[in-house]
Amino acid sequence: METGGSIFNAMLQEFDGAARLLGLDPGVWKILTHPKRQITVSLPVQMDNGEIEVFTGYRVQYNITLGPAKGGIRYHPGVTLDEVTALAAWMTWKCAVAHVPFGGGKGGIIVDPNRLSRRELEALTRRYIAEIVDAIGPEKDVPAPDVNTNDQIMAWIMDTYSMHVGHTATAVVTGKPIEMGGSLGRREATGRGVMIVTREAAKHLGLEIKEARVAVQGFGNVGSVSADLLSKQGARIVAVTDWKGGVYNDKGLDITKMLDYAKQHKSIDGFPGGETIDNPKLFALDVDVLVPAALENQITLENAPTIRAKIVAEGANGPTTPDAHKYLHERGVFVIPDILANAGGVTTSYFEWVQDRHGYFWEEDEVNKRLEAKMCEAFKDVLDTSIRYKTDLRTAAYLVAISRVATVTKMRGMYA
């Protein structure tokens, strides 16, 4: 099926395959393939030079059947309503797979934040929240950081919302600084989730994680934490690439030293612990585990035939094209899909929301223990479903997610 370049249509393609297998009720099918709410706002901001610029912002609440919408806000020149809608839909399925009581949402502003001063960035953020303030809230829609947004921007969002409602409302947003209601363990949560599902997949396949050879594409938040935690499980990280360069060492890389190097140099390019390597070579390495944790559409039909890994754990969102995924599955590669593999982030965002609402905060060990339980439960649900339906893990993850949302949709009935 041609997606016509639409990211939302690509999501529908994945949805349709699972919905057919489920024998989904046609009425529920219609409901689950339409966003509940799409908000477009104009954001006038007085720039530092005194001129007025008007930016465009979006917030999409795709589905709120299971609970408040949940999803990040991205600041990027390439933001479109189609992209934000597709990402909100994927958040719906990711939350359902992780078995957390959230629906799916996503937001974005068409802007290059690197061209704005700190004051302009704050003014833009506050104006955006003021425009959508009636649509968000701890019980309605809970934003989070995404591309080009961070804990400081979440702090401005929390403050702006709090000013409007007249009291401090920490639970309106997750990914906040620890000092103002953020959760311990949140920064490492996505990478920790990748480690947990990789370890569980290795167990299922009879692979010894202590001897596993691992290659990681991307050394940002997700890739670096995945590499670090997998090496602490005894795996040998033999290759890592990032936006600028890459390093290979068959005996294993010292990830602790690499983390220090990356902090200093903003890249691992030139790290002295091995020889240089690029992405095409990294994908073609003879390894047990490949973790694509960089950008979308990295594994395509062109390079999929070179992949020799037994497990592909998708740390990034959408790193494998549908055709490449089909090819890898038919070749017997065990692909752990993004909506399962990187669900550790949204799971710990849920923990942050719970802690904020209770006003009682957990120790980091407690956060990690609960994340471990949730990720193992999610992996088992998806694996059992894939065995029952004799299908790949991506389809199985959709089966689990759609089934959960559809069941509650039917139970709740139609509000006339």
Catalytic positions: 106
Q: How far apart are CA 356 and CA 138, in angstroms?
A: 10
User: Running DSSP on this structure, what letter comes out for residue 170?
Assistant: G
List the one residue out of 12, 68, 93, 9 whose CA is nearest residue 340.
93
Please report, as a single letter, which amino acid is at residue 408. V
Contact 236, 211 (CB under 8 A): yes
Question: Which class for 37: exposed (0-12), middle (13-18), buried (19 or more C-beta within 10 A)?
Answer: middle
Contact 74, 172 (CB under 8 A): no
Q: Which residue has the tokens 């959760």?
A: 183
The H or E element containing residue 81 is helix 81-97
* Token code pair at residue 386: 């894939």
Query: CA 34: distance to chain centroid?
Result: 21
List the one residue out of 71, 137, 69 whose CA is nearest residue 101.
69
Cα 96 to Cα 109, 350, 354: the distances in Å are 26, 12, 17
Q: How far apart are CA 213 and CA 257, in angstroms?
A: 19
The interaxial angle of helices 221-232 and 189-205, nearest 10 deg, is 50
Q: Which residue has the tokens 């311990």?
A: 184
- ∠ CA 50-54-59, rounded to 5°: 140
List the one residue out of 220, 235, 217, 326 whose CA is nearest residue 277.
217
The H or E element containing residue 211 is none
Query: CA 250: distance to chain centroid?
Result: 30
